[in-house]
Amino acid sequence: MSDLDTWWRDVGNAALLGTARRPVPPLPDLGRAGVLASAEGRPREEALLDAAALGGAALRAGRRLEHADPPDAAPDDRRPVAPRLAVQLLELVMTQPPAGAAQRTGLLVHWLQAADDSGCRVPHALLPTLLALATGARELRRPTAAVLDERGRWLAGLRDEWSWVEGAAAGAEARTASRTEGTPPDPDEWARLPSPDRIAVLAGVRAHDPGAARELVRLTWSTDSARDRRAHLEALRIGLGPDDESLLEVGLDDRAGTVREAAAELLDALPDSARAARMAARLRPLVRRTGLLGRGVEVTLPDEPDPAALRDGLGKPPPRRSARGWWLEQICAGAPLDIWVELAGADPSATLKRLTDAQATDVLAGIRRAARSRRDPEWAAALLERGWDAALVPALPREPRERVVLRRVDATSERAHEIGAVVGSVDPPWSADFSVALVSRLRASKVGSTMVVASMPHLLAGLHPAALDPLERWIESTGADQILLTNLRNLLQFHSVKRSITEAFR
Amino acid sequence: MTRWTSQQVAGLAPDASSLAAARRLARPGPWSDTGSTETLLWGKCQGSGKTPYQVSIDLTGPAFRCSCPSRKFPCKHGLALLLLWVDGSGSVADAAEAAGFALEWAAERSARAGAKAAGDAARPTRTPDPVAAAKRLEERLALMDDGMDDFARWLTDLARSGTAAARHQSYAWWDGTAARLVDAQLPGLADDVRSVGGAVSGRPDWAERLLVALGRWWTATRAWSARASLDEAQLGDLRAYLGWSTTTESVRRADAVTDRWLVLGAHRTDDGRLQQQRTWLRGAATRETVQVLDFAAGGQVLPVARVVGSSLDATLARYPGAAVRRALFVDEPAVADSGVGMPSGASLEDARSAAAEAWGLNPWARRIPVVLSDVRVGVDRVVDGDGASVALTDDADVWSLLALTGGGPARLFGELEESRLRPLTVVVDGEVVGL
């Protein structure tokens, strides 16, 4: 400690207690600085204030710089920055969401995925804002992590609040590769991937190469947890086919009930499988034609299942269901639908009409499930004739599907709040014709405003750009309904910005 | 004229929402009759109303005019037009002749400037009554003398009873002292007392801060009683600290210098009551760095920020002072060049000694402008090539800095305040970015 440091410390102590109790330390020799000590006989307090002034000046001007190791620099980025126009759109969406704050996340996800698909990264200047937004909205995290590149990951590593990036970025590459090119990760990487990323990778690979995805599931089947095994089976729903049967049969013998259930449910969707044939064999003795002309159909409840039936899913019923009724439903859901034509001797529509006895509810529930999981258009159409069921709509081919839904939209004008479920039954993105027809129906409806509000999420996700012009004309002509106007404007903005984003990455 | 960068346009926005609104408008759709010459940029923007808004921009100021009713300045239309022009995709074409409404406005402007110049020239003839002025000055000095004596007594009392006792005083005690200083027409000193008084109870390093503040206040009382021996520059710095303002008219008359000024950086603060904008400028010939201060209170709007990294041809009048001088624009500056970058910087050690020298000349200077070269930014400090390091101020936008520099060496402009640095501008890949 130098003389000056000691002196300054003593000055500090004297100041704390006050000069009434402490003397002021004499100034050390400052050599060339040529500072003169306070004159003899000056009041103590003035000497202290002089010392404070001097010390303050010395402290400010004379403080030595600290030394520190230079901080670690970020590695070089590997991707090119997003195109300029796209960057402007990102800034716009982040700072002033064009379709209202509620729609910001949707647009951001679209931007981030478009950037990832074209192999771009976020410009450095926008990283802090994007990271802050994704910290607040979980659904942004994975798409964000995919386009941060080295600089962004490095930056996130410096701040505790952004520590989620490390986890989200780990599987980002594998996810991107599987989504854009269907490339499966190598076995080691697959084994190390966190569960949510595996699901995303499976979905990606499955869309391109179902066999490769199935191999991934097999690869770690023996070591995966029951929860993962179930989730992986669920992922096979994409592109499900006869080749998956053997793995699903393995699933039927799984030690975990949840996995067995998932396997059985997937096998329901394969009418040519061995399990479907076993179910058909169980169903045949239960169905009998009645009446003189054989136009009635009577179904009896099945008996206690044998071990083989138990394995096929005729297990414990859900709460408040009769066990035998449940088994009947399971059998009907698993058996090929064609068997009804054989057993009832009529087409689907007529068969359904003949099912009127006490067991009809369970049988219909099973047939419904079968039609849904197999996307059987004929049976779905026949069932829909009898009553609306949004879950059956996707089984129809595009044209009848959209026709059925539009008809339902007309019929729903009394119960406008149900419209969401109705239009939601058509997978986004919608066709141009359907989008335009839907907009014109909403516009013509007396309760169009309520309907728009109720179906907003689906309109945002599904509407085809071809509907934007009619939408704009609707906005121009609409009157004082502010809620409707705001919603329509948001809708229009959302889609036009979304389209601009897509174009900006081209 | 070379078109600007969108970064520079962003720097002109009065707030983030105006900029965002402008970005939405910066597409060809709503615009018609656009064009630009060397000095003017104009266009019509279709808003919600029937007639489109007429937007004219004088690129040399920059100055804006828009027929919209917005109270923001510049409004989103002006910013959007600039963005569209910067974009360079051909939506704003170069023209030989400006559109009628833009020309009219430009003519009005130059006429006004001429009239103002004439008015300024005419004004000195209306000299106020010198006798009355002298009497007012005498009264003020007497008031300040009494206030300073009172303050010196308060300081010696505090020294006698100790800072530990002072720490236990309520804020009202500090505020009372500050109020007496305000009454004695020493508002600058009063602000300092309030801010130190407010920080004393909460900070772990309060003892040294208070001690240093006591030294500073004591120096002020001693300097005031010895003011007859101070030269004009020293007195100017002391006046600025005490809050005895110098009229802009007397500044204008005194020490004007014409130069090409590079906009080094700017900082805005808003304490809810008063908005302040500090712009640092460096003269190409004089090599002096000065600060221009703008204030806005209540519903007022701060003037448009200068584009960081651009050069202005302007005459600046400097307030009396020895170092880190304040200045004001004598007339509206003309943009000479919109993208020269930053001057080469110094090491931290050199910057520190330059700061020490400046503080030697002007002990009241709160912050010293420095340009640093090849410094690496860490989460709470910067480190230069020699391994010397200085901590960042709490309000530094460290995440933007880190994102932009990636921990690599960069040139920075900032303010040294006490022993910390507030970065205001960073140069990345040759691009000047205001923080």
**For residue B137, what are its two tokens?**
């000055």
Query: Which pLDDT score is estimated for B118?
Result: 66
Partner-chain residue, chosen from A43, A57, A155, that has the shortest CB–CB distance to B402: A155
CB contact under 8 A, A154 and B407: yes
Residues of A in contact with B377 (CB under 8 A): 71
Q: Is the dihedral of CA A297, A298, A301, A307 positive or negative?
A: negative
Residues of B in contact with A54 (CB under 8 A): 215
Q: Quick one: closest CA in B to A129, which residue?
A: B400
Partner-chain residue, chosen from B19, B164, B352, that has the shortest CB–CB distance to A65: B352
H, E, C per residue of A200-267: HHHHHHHHHCHHHHHHHHHHHHCCCCHHHHHHHHHHCCCCCCHHHHHHHHHHHCCCCHHHHHHHHHHH
> What is the radius of gyration, based on Cα positions, of chain B?
24
Q: How far is B213 from chain A (nearest CA, A)?
A: 8
What is the C-alpha separation between B211 and A357, in angstroms, rounded? 97
Interface mutation target, options A17, A65, A87, chain B, most CBs of B under 10 Å: A65
Q: Residue A131's pLDDT band (boundaries 50, 70, 90)?
A: very high
Residues of A in contact with B208 (CB under 8 A): 12, 59
Asked if residue A428 lies in contact with residue A458, where contact means CB atoms within 8 angstroms, the answer is yes
CB contact under 8 A, A67 and B388: yes
Partner-chain residue, chosen from A20, A57, A96, that has the shortest CB–CB distance to B17: A96
Neighbours of B259 (CB within 10 A): 20
Partner-chain residue, chosen from B161, B215, B348, that has the shortest CB–CB distance to A49: B215
What is the C-alpha separation between B91 and B87, in angstroms, rounded? 8
Q: Residue A132: pLDDT above 60?
A: yes
Q: Residue A457: pLDDT above 90?
A: no
- Give the residue among A459, A460, A466 at the shortest CA–CA distance from A442: A459
Query: Which pLDDT score is estimated for A328?
Result: 92
Provide, rounded to the nearest whole percent, the portion of chain A with pLDDT above 70. Answer: 97
DSSP secondary structure code for residue A243 in this structure: G
Helix (H) or strand (E) run with residue B64 in it:
strand B63-66
Q: Residue A151's pLDDT band (boundaries 50, 70, 90)?
A: very high
CB contact under 8 A, B359 and A60: yes
| Residue listed under structure tokens 């490339």 | A183
Partner-chain residue, chosen from A45, A66, A124, that has the shortest CB–CB distance to B389: A66
Q: In chain B, which stretches have pLDDT less than 70? A: 1-2, 61, 88-90, 114-128, 338-340
Q: Which residues face A66 on adjacent strands?
A: B389
Q: Quick one: closest CA in A to B22, which residue?
A: A92
Neighbours of A95 (CB within 10 A): 16
Neighbours of A134 (CB within 10 A): 25
**Residue B272 burial (C-beta neighbours within 10 Å; 0-12, 13-18, 19+):** exposed
Partner-chain residue, chosen from B160, B215, B391, that has the shortest CB–CB distance to A55: B215
| Bond before B128 cis per omega within 30 degrees | no
Lowest mean pLDDT among A213-222, A284-293, A361-370, B216-225: A284-293
Neighbours of A505 (CB within 10 A): 20
Partner-chain residue, chosen from A54, A95, A127, that has the shortest CB–CB distance to B20: A95
Query: Which pLDDT score is estimated for A82?
Result: 92
Residues of B in contact with A53 (CB under 8 A): 215-216, 218-219, 222
Residues of A in contact with B381 (CB under 8 A): 68
Residues of A in contact with B211 (CB under 8 A): 11-12, 15, 52, 55-56
Q: Residue A2: pLDDT above 70?
A: yes
Interface A-B, measured as beta-carbon pairs within 8 A, has a size of 170
**Residue A334 burial (C-beta neighbours within 10 Å; 0-12, 13-18, 19+):** buried
Q: What's the pLDDT tens digit per position in A427-452?
A: 888 888 888 988 888 888 877 778 88
Q: How far is A134 from chain B (nearest CA, A)?
A: 15
Partner-chain residue, chosen from B20, B390, B407, that has the shortest CB–CB distance to A65: B390
Beta strands at B311-318 and B334-337: parallel, antiparallel or unpaired: antiparallel
Query: Which pLDDT score is estimated for A65?
Result: 84
Mean pLDDT of chain A: 87
Query: Which pLDDT score is estimated for B2?
Result: 63
Q: For chain B, which residues make up each domain, given as ranges?
A: 6-122, 131-229, 247-337, 348-434
Residues of A in contact with B219 (CB under 8 A): 53
DSSP secondary structure code for residue B229 in this structure: G
Angle B115-B117-B123 from CA coordinates, rounded to 5°: 100
Give φ, ψ of A314 to 5 degrees: -90, 65
CB contact under 8 A, B159 and A69: no
Question: Which residues does B113 contact at the CB level (< 8 Å), separation at least 6?
Answer: B331, B332
Residues of B in contact with A63 (CB under 8 A): 419
Q: Quick one: closest CA in A to B406, which residue?
A: A74
- Give the residue among A336, A364, A340 at the shortest CA–CA distance from A277: A336
Q: What's the pLDDT tens digit per position in A274-288?
A: 999 999 999 999 988
Residues of B in contact with A51 (CB under 8 A): 215
CB contact under 8 A, A66 and B164: no
Asked if residue B73 lies in contact with residue B22, where contact means CB atoms within 8 angstroms, the answer is no
CB contact under 8 A, B211 and A124: no
Residues of A in contact with B155 (CB under 8 A): 45, 49
What is the C-alpha separation between B229 and B16, in angstroms, rounded? 49
CB contact under 8 A, A69 and B349: no
CB contact under 8 A, B402 and A61: no
Residues of A in contact with B348 (CB under 8 A): 65
Q: Model ipTM?
A: 0.71
Lowest mean pLDDT among A115-119, A369-373, B83-87, B358-362: B83-87
Query: Which pLDDT score is estimated for A39?
Result: 66
